Amino acid sequence: MALPRPAQTRVMVVANQKGGVGKTTTTVNVAAGLAQLGQRVLVIDLDPQGNASTALNIEHHRGTLGTYDLLVDGAALADVAQPCPEVERVDVVPATIDLAGAEIELVSVVARENRLNKAIQAHPLVGGAEVGEGRYDYVLVDCPPSLGLLTLNALVSAHEMLIPIQAEYYALEGLGQLIETVEMVKKHLNPSLWISTILITMYDGRTRLAAGVAEEVREHFGDQVLRTMIPRSVRVSEAPSYAQTVMTYDPGSTGAMAYLEAAREIAQRGGKA
Ligand code: ADP
Ligand code: MG
């Protein structure tokens, strides 16, 4: 079952400024899928709602050490990460509602868009072979549904971007703005950023609309789109209310199997452009 580990930690940002497209669901389930495939994963919850923290069963009431302390107070990443109690090989940096203030509190801070990047790069388990066995193979960053300073920090910290696209009518709307933002970040802040992965989510194979949208996404993005599509499944949406990923809640369900397949594709494709 285990796959070879990448030569270097792959930092992937899961972003799309549209809400409800499956960013959080994708982050936690791809993380769990990669872990099942033998990879060590750090999930950073960058959304003040803390939905990824909930799904991974990490406490995130106000005042819990987490992403806010990392970004605003300069806490070390290793000091704010916790092991996920449900999934072996996954660590999590939780987000609390305090993070909602960070967009404003960071405005006057020097190099405010580089805070997350610095924290990730300073982590002793991020890097290449020199880091040793305990190295994180993947850092997955779950973004809020906006293109503000939090998402900007994520884009500056990542090599790769994973964009979940919901297979529905307005799927491609707003993507232009997202891609312009990525281009801007590439040009001025992080030349190594690229959109490595597009994942079609909440796919309903019974409708012609979903098939049409999927085809349009593939025409537009070509090889960046994973072959695996995530089906719409009640089990996927139920899992967070049990503080679980669907991978542990119902591993045999279509949603869990699709996320495991998506994780395998991501691992097998490798991280280079
Ligand atoms: P985002 O993080 O982009 O806002 P979420 O991952 O929170 O999106 O997903 C939005 C809603 O859709 C959530 O209620 C989630 O449980 C549900 N959902 C996500 N993926 C699926 C799926 N494959 N099948 C059914 N419901 C899903
Ligand atoms: Mg979310």
pLDDT digits (tens, 9 = 90+) for 32-43: 999 999 999 999
Which tens digit of pLDDT belongs to each residue from 216-229?
999 999 999 999 99
In-domain check, residue 263: yes
Identify each DSSP E strand in 99-189 by its residue range: 138-142, 160-166
Q: Whose CA is nearest to atom 10 of ligand 1?
A: 20
Judge contact between 51 and 147, C-beta under 8 A. no
Choice among 37-46, 57-66, 172-181 with the minimum mean pLDDT: 172-181
Residue 26 Ramachandran class (φ > 0 left, ψ -120 to 50 alpha, else beta): alpha
Which residues does 132 contact at the CB level (< 8 Å), separation at least 6?
A: 125
In-domain check, residue 67: yes
Query: Which range has highest mean pLDDT (84-93, 105-114, 169-178, 205-214)?
Result: 84-93
Question: What percent of the chain has pLDDT above 90?
Answer: 89
In-domain check, residue 1: no
Where residue 171 sits, what CATH number does that domain have? 3.40.50.300
Q: How far is the CA of 47 from the centre of ligand 2 (A)?
A: 7
Instruction: Please give all residues whose beta carbon lies within 6 A of any atom in ligand 1, as ranges.
Output: 19-25, 51, 145, 201-202, 230, 232-233, 236-237, 255
- What is the structure's pLDDT at 191? 97
Confidence of residue 273 (pLDDT cuts 50, 70, 90): low
pLDDT at 3 over 60: yes
Q: How far is the CA of 112 from the centre of ligand 1 (A)?
A: 30
- Which helix (H) or strand (E) segment is 195 a member of? strand 194-201
In-domain check, residue 5: no
- What pTM value is reported for the model? 0.97
Distance (Å, whole) CA 15 – CA 231: 19
Confidence of residue 21 (pLDDT cuts 50, 70, 90): very high
The total number of structural domains that make up the chain: 1
Region 53-71 average pLDDT = 96
Domain coverage including residue 144: 10-268
